[in-house]
């Protein structure tokens, strides 16, 4: 069954064709504003010039056009200024919600036989994941699900584990120096948290050394380089890269601890990947590509042995690709990683979900790939998102001023659990069920909080707000869903057909209007790689349902036809909430 929006778009197309107007004229089809009657609106303004008539006149002509051939679907058309407000007929809407309830997916999108690879999360293995990673994880996941939902056939979610480099050496060095062989088991701690402690330890001691050297008259830059701890960390990195078995052994063990910790966090967040790459495995290919570029004369080598590329002709700077000691840098491994992926997937699009601070990095990466003549140079897209701030300022792992992902989830869980024990609806659940529910609410709260903001805008994380389960929140949507489930279960006579007469009230029309645009919202959110569009929509739909619920009896309704129509409508909304929330990765409990 065609969606209302599709029908109106079709009307516009036919109208333009009959009047011999170029398709290129964009006539907006939009949701009717709340203060007017109708569900779908056509704005006629862009046609004023070609028609040489006033928008009002054109709107009237469109009205007649529709009335003359869509009489069965349309109840009423109102012209207000240049706007044509269309109210669909009650019978159309009834059929609409019935087919929605009967189908498992609404709307269905045409399949796109594309392969999209989306990389997200990409943690360093020197510390546990914090709030910033949570934003990345849920944004990446939701974006991948949106792509899939709107028809992309192959969406491949990949994680690139940053398991080598100077930062790992720092944690490793601290553990070697001060760890006394402690393990996660002995410490009674997740491995990622344990290693994170050593990272902070390193930074503390390192800072002391730098200050001492500066007191002796050294410049900051020199002190940072000459500090013994930094020297030792670099030495460790060199030994690692040269394959020193002793270093590799420790490295493997520590990495393993951290990755196990990550697994738990991912599992909790409901996030999984189709493939995991490790930079320790991709950087070598990167180095080969650097050699290739050097041979082709695209890169150049300085006297100290370091390798560079000159990007000043495309408005960027000179960029280092290999250090003078021969070890690789961040971008080296990225060159290798994307080459591997290309060989593996021949993807049509490669999305990197990476924080905005790396925008320059991706510009450079693309510029290098172009110079190397790689066919995938134009297929990369950096989905950049802004940082999460605390009221006290930036989060800094080095200083330990971060909100830890696991800790936050625990706190949310605990709070939800307390609320569950207070509520008469859930107090009788078993302990296991209570914790299961508390976890869903915790996830709903934090994910919604992260997803409701436009990715390119910073999130100011205020804990009281994130811990709030009322108003514009995930639990609000969850609660609405649970209400509808309860309604449906209570209904003795589940409506079997939609073949009857019923006149929808204004609350119901408001809901139908929103539902009609669900498909547009999905497409919009996908096109912009912006799940917040969907998050906002779900809240709006839930809000509207609660308003409806407070004003119109459903199961209590004595007229059986009205009851049937209202149950169908409620059920249809439940399905959209379900579809949207599962696309975002937000769990919806049946009871809460």
**Residue 330 near RNA by CB under 7 A:** yes
**Residue 120 near RNA by CB under 7 A:** no
Select from 120, 517, 518, 529 the one that contacts RNA (CB under 7 A): 517
Q: Which region among 68-76, 91-99, 144-152, 548-556 touches RNA (by CB under 7 A)?
A: 548-556
Q: Between 42 and 189, whose beta carbon lies closer to RNA?
A: 42
Interior CA angle at 398 toward 394 and 403, to 5°?
Answer: 55
Residues 55-114 within binding reach of RNA (CB under 7 A): 55, 80-83, 85
270-285 b/e (C-beta count within 10 Å ≥ 16 → b): bbebeeebbbbebbeb
Q: How far apart are CA 589 and CA 504, in angstroms?
A: 29
Residues 474-513 within binding reach of RNA (CB under 7 A): 475-476, 479, 482-483, 485-487, 490
368-394 b/e (C-beta count within 10 Å ≥ 16 → b): bbebbebebbebbbbbbbbebbbeeee
Residues 155-174 within binding reach of RNA (CB under 7 A): 162, 165-167
Tokens representing 104 are 């498992």
Residues 188-217 within binding reach of RNA (CB under 7 A): none
Q: Which region among 127-135, 193-201, 240-248, 527-535 touches RNA (by CB under 7 A)?
A: 527-535
**Residue 228 near RNA by CB under 7 A:** no
Residue with tokens 């140079």: 377
Q: Between 30 and 91, whose beta carbon lies closer to RNA?
A: 30
Site string for RNA, 26-45 (x = CB under 7 A): --x-xxxx-xx----x-x-x
Bond before 195 cis per omega within 30 degrees = no
**Residue 432 near RNA by CB under 7 A:** no
Tokens representing 295 are 């041979």
Select from 263, 553, 559, 561 the one that contacts RNA (CB under 7 A): 553
Residues 371-400 within binding reach of RNA (CB under 7 A): 386-387, 394
Select from 441, 568, 569, 572 the one that contacts RNA (CB under 7 A): 441
Residues 254-273 within binding reach of RNA (CB under 7 A): none
Q: Between 193 and 234, whose beta carbon lies closer to RNA?
A: 234
CB-based contact 441:475 (threshold 8 Å) = yes
| Cα torsion 490, 496, 502, 505: sign | positive
Q: Which region among 134-142, 210-218, 251-259, 554-562 touches RNA (by CB under 7 A)?
A: 554-562
Q: Which region among 7-15, 60-68, 207-215, 584-592 touches RNA (by CB under 7 A)?
A: 584-592
| Residue among 173, 306, 305, 165 nearest 227 (CA) | 173
Residue with tokens 């009307």: 11
CB-based contact 487:554 (threshold 8 Å) = yes
**Residue 287 near RNA by CB under 7 A:** no
Q: 561: how many CB neighbours lie within 10 A of its CB?
A: 12
List of residues 6+ apart from 257 with CB closer than 8 A: 183, 184, 191, 192, 194, 195
Q: Between 175 and 449, whose beta carbon lies closer to RNA?
A: 449
Tokens representing 408 are 């936050």
Select from 460, 463, 500, 505 the one that contacts RNA (CB under 7 A): 460
**Residue 556 near RNA by CB under 7 A:** yes
- DSSP secondary structure, 470-497, as one string: SSSSHHHHHHHHHHHHHHHHH-SS----
Q: 497: how many CB neighbours lie within 10 A of its CB?
A: 10
Select from 419, 429, 433, 578 the one that contacts RNA (CB under 7 A): 419
Bridge partners of residue 115, in order along the sequence: 154
Total interface residues for RNA by CB under 7 A = 99
| Residue among 575, 558, 440, 537 nearest 492 (CA) | 558
Q: Between 81 and 346, whose beta carbon lies closer to RNA?
A: 81
**Residue 252 near RNA by CB under 7 A:** no
CB of 477: closest distance to RNA in angstroms?
Answer: 9
Q: How far, in whole angstroms, is CA 108 from its chain's centroid?
A: 21
Q: Which region among 11-19, 88-96, 359-367, 580-588 touches RNA (by CB under 7 A)?
A: 359-367
């Amino acid at each position: 069954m065609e969606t209302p929006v599709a029908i109106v778009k079709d009307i516009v197309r036919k109208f333009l064709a009959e009047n011999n107007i170029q398709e290129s004229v964009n006539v907006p089809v939009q949701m009717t504003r709340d203060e007017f009657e109708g569900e779908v609106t056509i704005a006629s303004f862009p046609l004023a010039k070609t028609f040489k008539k006033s928008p009002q006149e054109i709107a009237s002509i469109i009205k007649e056009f529709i009335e003359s051939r869509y009489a069965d679907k349309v109840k009423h058309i109102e012209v207000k200024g240049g706007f044509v407000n269309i109210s669909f007929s009650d019978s159309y809407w009834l059929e609409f919600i019935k087919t929605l309830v009967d189908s498992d997916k609404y709307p269905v999108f045409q399949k796109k036989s594309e392969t999209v690879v989306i990389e997200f999360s990409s943690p360093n293995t020197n510390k546990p994941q914090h709030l910033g990673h949570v934003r990345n994880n849920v944004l990446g996941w939701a974006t991948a699900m949106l792509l899939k939902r709107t028809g992309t056939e192959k969406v491949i979610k990949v994680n690139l584990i940053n398991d080598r480099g100077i930062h790992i050496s720092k944690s490793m060095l601290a553990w070697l120096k001060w760890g006394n062989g402690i393990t996660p088991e002995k410490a009674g701690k997740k491995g990622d948290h344990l290693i994170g402690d050593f990272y902070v330890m390193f930074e503390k001691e390192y800072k002391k050394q730098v200050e001492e050297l500066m007191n002796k008259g050294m410049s900051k830059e020199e002190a940072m380089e000459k500090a013994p701890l930094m020297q030792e960390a670099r030495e460790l990195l060199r030994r690692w890269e040269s394959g020193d078995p002793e270093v590799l052994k420790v490295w493997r063990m520590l990495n393993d601890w951290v990755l196990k910790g990550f697994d738990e966090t991912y599992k909790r967040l409901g996030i999984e990947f189709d493939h995991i790459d490790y930079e320790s495995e991709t950087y070598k290919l990167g180095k080969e590509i650097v050699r290739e570029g050097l041979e082709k004369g695209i890169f150049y080598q300085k006297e100290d042995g370091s390798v560079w590329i000159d990007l000043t002709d495309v408005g960027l700077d000179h960029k280092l690709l290999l250090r003078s000691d021969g070890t690789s840098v961040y971008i080296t491994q990225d060159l290798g990683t994307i080459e591997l992926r290309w060989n593996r997937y021949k993807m049509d699009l490669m999305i990197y979900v990476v924080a905005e601070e790396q925008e320059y990095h991706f510009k450079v990466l693309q510029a290098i790939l172009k110079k190397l003549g790689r066919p995938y140079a134009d297929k990369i897209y950096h989905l950049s998102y802004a940082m999460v701030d605390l009221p006290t300022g930036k989060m800094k792992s080095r200083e330990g001023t971060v909100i830890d992902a696991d800790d936050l989830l625990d706190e949310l869980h605990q709070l939800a659990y307390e609320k569950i024990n207070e509520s008469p609806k859930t107090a009788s659940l078993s302990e296991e069920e209570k914790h299961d529910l508390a976890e869903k609410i915790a996830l709903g709260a934090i994910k919604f909080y992260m997803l409701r903001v436009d990715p390119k805008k910073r999130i100011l994380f205020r804990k009281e707000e994130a811990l709030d389960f009322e108003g514009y929140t995930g639990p609000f949507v969850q609660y609405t869903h649970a209400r509808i489930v309860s309604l449906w279960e209570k209904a003795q006579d589940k409506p079997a057909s939609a073949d009857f007469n019923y006149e929808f009230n204004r609350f119901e029309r408001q809901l139908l209007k929103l539902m009609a645009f669900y498909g547009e919202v999905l497409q919009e959110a996908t096109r912009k790689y912006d799940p917040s569009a969907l998050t906002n929509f779900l809240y709006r739909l839930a809000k509207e349902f609660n308003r409806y619920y407070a004003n119109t009896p459903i199961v209590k309704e004595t007229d059986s036809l009205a009851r049937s129509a209202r149950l169908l409508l409620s059920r249809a909304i439940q399905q959209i909430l379900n579809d949207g929330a599962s696309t975002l990765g937000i769990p919806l409990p049946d009871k809460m």
